[in-house]
């Protein structure tokens, strides 16, 4: 069996038949989950060549508010400087960061996303740089960024430690790493099992808070804040009522986005969400792990 991509333990567990896909392994030491067989470069390139579409990367005021709030957090720790967004997708966070005075650079390997990035730059007269090859990241000088972000990226990688090591290298002393990734210990996974849409072969390594903190410490980061948050209520209701294993990502994404919008626009629901997230964090069972770490 493959060694764990996080802690290199060579003695994982295999999920019992019927609980999770039979070729999904679980590390006994750090509790990360990963697939028994890895993807090669050709599989990765084929899968992500048409990964993004205009419908799949809608940008709305809710997302912009989230980005602005996140930049506020960064700027409480350090002055505006250089920022690298690894796995930058269609580039919306880069655009918001640039509008705040950050000198932004995006890293993206998907051909469909690169087309959107180029169009976004041209239409909005933006200046952020784009890296589209792994060797371009490796060629960056040490300590050249104050912030590195990875929004929902680690789960797509066979070896998340590699990108964390690169992030550590290019950050200046005292720099910030901010990342989000699905939580394999989430309440959604316990309730939905293999029907949880996160359990998909494109997600090569699924982490727990314990595994992620282990990885960050191993690379040299100092986790400043680690929490779990959010539940995808529309997905839980929809798939809780269905016994089949079919997944409808587009419909699920739309329903989830509408639900988030409704919550943010209702003061009572927003307060309830805050209380729920506090409980999810206490028990470390939210759908998303969010980390702000310092070099």
Over the stretch 170-214, which tens digit does the pLDDT of each residue have? 999 999 999 999 999 999 999 999 999 999 999 999 999 999 999
SS3 207: strand
Residue 90 token pair? 């269609």
Residue 184 maps to a domain: yes
Residue 32 maps to a domain: no
Residue 226 token pair? 């680690």
Q: How far is CA 273 from CA 66, 188, 228, 238, 286, in A?
A: 15, 16, 13, 20, 12
Average pLDDT over residues 143-150: 98
Residue 213 maps to a domain: yes
Residues spanned by the domain of 281: 44-294
Over the stretch 151-177, which tens digit does the pLDDT of each residue have? 999 999 999 999 999 999 999 999 999
Average pLDDT across the chain, whole number:
90
Confidence of residue 248 (pLDDT cuts 50, 70, 90): very low
Whether pLDDT at 113 is above 70? yes
The tally of domains found in the chain comes to 1
CA atoms within 13 A on the CB side of 278: 6
Whether pLDDT at 263 is above 90? no
Average pLDDT over residues 116-127: 93
Residue 33 maps to a domain: no
Q: What does the pLDDT read at residue 260?
A: 73
Residue 22 maps to a domain: no
Average pLDDT over residues 116-137: 93
Residue 234 maps to a domain: yes
Q: What does the pLDDT read at residue 55?
A: 59
Residue 99 maps to a domain: yes
Residue 1 maps to a domain: no
CATH number for the domain spanning 254: value is 3.40.50.150
Average pLDDT over residues 220-236: 94
Query: For residue 228, what is the DSSP state?
Result: E
Average pLDDT over residues 270-280: 90
Q: What does the pLDDT read at residue 236?
A: 84
Q: Which residue has the tokens 């209380």?
A: 275
Closest of 171, 181, 276, 256 to residue 219, by C-alpha:
171
Cβ neighbour number for residue 65 with a 10 Å cutoff: 12
Average pLDDT over residues 80-94: 96
Whether pLDDT at 247 is above 50? no
Are the C-beta atoms of 160 and 203 separated by less than 8 Å? no
């Amino acid at each position: 069996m493959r060694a764990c991509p996080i802690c290199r333990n060579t003695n994982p567990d295999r999920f019992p038949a019927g609980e999770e896909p039979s070729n999904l392994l679980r590390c006994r030491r750090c509790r990360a989950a990963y697939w028994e067989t890895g993807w090669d470069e050709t599989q990765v390139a084929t899968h992500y060549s048409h990964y993004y579409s205009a419908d799949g990367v809608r940008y709305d005021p809710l997302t912009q508010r989230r980005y602005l709030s996140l930049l506020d957090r960064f700027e409480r720790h350090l002055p505006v400087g250089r920022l690298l967004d690894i796995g930058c997708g269609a580039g919306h966070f880069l655009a918001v960061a640039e509008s705040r005075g950050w000198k932004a650079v995006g890293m993206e390997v998907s051909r469909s996303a690169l087309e959107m990035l180029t169009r976004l730059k041209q239409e909005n007269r933006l200046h952020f740089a784009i890296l589209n090859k792994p060797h371009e990241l490796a060629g960056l000088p040490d300590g050249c960024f104050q912030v590195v972000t990875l929004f929902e990226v680690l789960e797509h990688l066979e070896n998340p430690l590699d990108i964390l090591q690169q992030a550590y290298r290019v950050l200046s002393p005292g720099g910030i790493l901010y990342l989000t990734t699905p939580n394999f210990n989430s309440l959604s996974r316990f309730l939905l099992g293999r029907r949880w849409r996160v359990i998909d072969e494109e997600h090569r390594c699924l982490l727990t808070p314990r595994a992620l903190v282990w990885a960050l410490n191993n690379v040299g980061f100092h986790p400043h804040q680690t929490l779990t948050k959010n539940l995808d209520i529309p997905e839980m209701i929809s798939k809780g009522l269905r016994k089949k294993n079919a997944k409808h990502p587009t419909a699920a994404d739309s329903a989830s986005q509408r639900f988030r919008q409704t919550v943010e626009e209702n003061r009572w629901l927003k307060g309830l969400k805050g209380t729920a997230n506090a409980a999810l964090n206490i028990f470390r069972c939210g759908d998303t792990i969010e980390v702000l770490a310092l070099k």
